[in-house]
Chains A and B, each alone.
Chain A
Amino acid sequence: MTALLTTYVLIWPVVVLAVLLVVVGAFARDVRRARQAGRRVI
Chain B
Amino acid sequence: MPLDTEATPLGIGAVALLLALFYGGTLLMSLSIRRRKENADRYMTAGNNIGFGISAASMTATWIWASSMYASVTAGYTYGVSGPIHYGLWGALMILFIYPFGRRIRTVAPRAHTLAEVMYARHGRSSQLMLAGSNVLGSLISLTSNFIAGGALIAVLSPLNFGAGILVVAGGVLLYTLWSGFRASVLTDFAQVVAMLGAAVVVIPVVFFAAGGPGMFEAGVAAGHVTPQQESFFSSEAFMNQGAPYIAAVLAYAIGNQTIAQRLFAVREDLIRPTFVTATVGYGATVIGIGMLGVMALYLGIDPMGGDVNNLMPQMVSTYLGPVLLAVAFLMIIGSLSSTADSDLSALSSIVMADIYGQSVGRSAADPRTMLLIGRLTMIVATAAALYFATSQFNILDLLVFVGALWGCLVFPVIASFYWPKVTNAAFTVSVLAALAFFLPVRFGWLPAVGAWGLAVELLATIGIGVVLGIMAFGFFGLRPAVMTGTLAVAVSAPFTFFFLRDYEVLSGSLVAYAVSFLVCYLMSVRSGQDFDFERIQHVTGNFDDTSTAEQEDPDEDPDDLVLASDRPGPRS
B278 and A23 contact, CB distance less than 8 A: yes
Point out the residues of chain A lying under 8 angstroms from B218, CB to CB: 2
Are A9 and B51 touching (Cβ within 8 A)?
Answer: no
CB nearest to A7 among chain B residues:
B214
B46, B194, B289, B555: the one contacting A42 at CB < 8 Å is B46
User: Across the two chains, which residue of chain A brings its CB closest to B190?
Assistant: A27
Inside 8 A of B431's CB, which chain A residues have their CB? none
Q: Please measure, in the bound complex, the distance between the C-alpha atom of A3 and the C-alpha atom of B218, giving whole angstroms.
A: 11
Select one of B56, B81, B215 contacting A26, CB under 8 A. Answer: B56
B288 surroundings in chain A (CB, below 8 A): 12
A36-B221 Cα distance, complex, nearest whole Å = 59
**Are B289 and A12 interface neighbours, CB within 8 A?**
yes
B54 beta carbon closer than 8 Å to chain A: yes
Q: How far is the CA of A42 from the CA of B187 in the complex (A)?
A: 7
| Nearest CB on B from A24, distance (A) | 7
Report the nearest B residue to A38, measured CB to CB: B556
Interface size class of A (residues with CB under 8 A): 20 to 34
Given A40-B33, A42-B46, also A12-B53 (CB < 8 A): no
Specify which of B57, B202, B208 lies most central, judged by the most chain A CB atoms within 10 Å of its CB: B57
CB-based contact B51/A19 at 8 Å: no
State in angstroms the CA–CA spacing of A41 and B46 once bound together: 10
Chain B interface size, under 10 / 10 to 19 / 20 to 34 / 35 or more: 35 or more
Q: Judging by beta carbons under 8 Å apart, are A23 and B200 in contact?
A: no
Minimal Cβ-Cβ distance residue in B for A34: B51
Kindly list chain A residues whose C-beta atoms are within 8 Å of the C-beta of B464: none
Q: Within 8 Å CB of A15, what residues of B?
A: 281, 285, 289
Residues in A with CB closer than 8 Å to B217 are 1-2, 5-6
Kindly name the residue among A9, A33, A42 whose own CB sees the greatest number of chain B CB atoms within 10 A.
A42
Partner of B295, one of A9, A16, A31, A37: A9
Per-residue CB contact flags for chain B residues 44-81 toward chain A (1 = under 8 Å, else 0) read 00100011111011001000000000000000000001
Is B556's CB under 8 angstroms from A37's CB?
yes
Establish whether residues B204 and A42, one from each chain, have CB atoms under 8 Å apart when the complex forms.
no
Determine the chain B residues whose CB is within 8 A of the CB of A41 once the complex forms.
33, 51, 54, 187
B residues in contact with A27, CB < 8 Å: 53-54, 57, 190
A29: nearest chain-B partner, CB-CB? B53
* Distance (whole angstroms) from the CB of B426 to the closest CB of chain A: 41
The 8 closest A-B pairs by CB, nearest first: A12-B289, A27-B53, A26-B53, A30-B51, A15-B285, A19-B282, A20-B197, A30-B53
Residues of B within 8 A of A (CB): 33, 46, 50-54, 56-57, 60, 81, 183, 186-187, 190, 193-194, 197-198, 200-202, 204-205, 208, 213-215, 217-218, 278, 281-282, 285-286, 288-289, 292, 295-296, 555-556, 558
Q: List 12 A-B contacts (CB under 8 A).
A: A1-B217, A10-B204, A12-B285, A16-B200, A16-B289, A19-B285, A20-B282, A22-B278, A23-B190, A24-B53, A39-B556, A41-B187
Add 16 more A-B contacts to A10-B204, A12-B200 (CB < 8 A). Answer: A5-B217, A8-B81, A9-B292, A10-B208, A12-B292, A13-B289, A15-B281, A16-B200, A16-B282, A16-B289, A20-B194, A22-B56, A23-B190, A30-B52, A40-B33, A41-B33
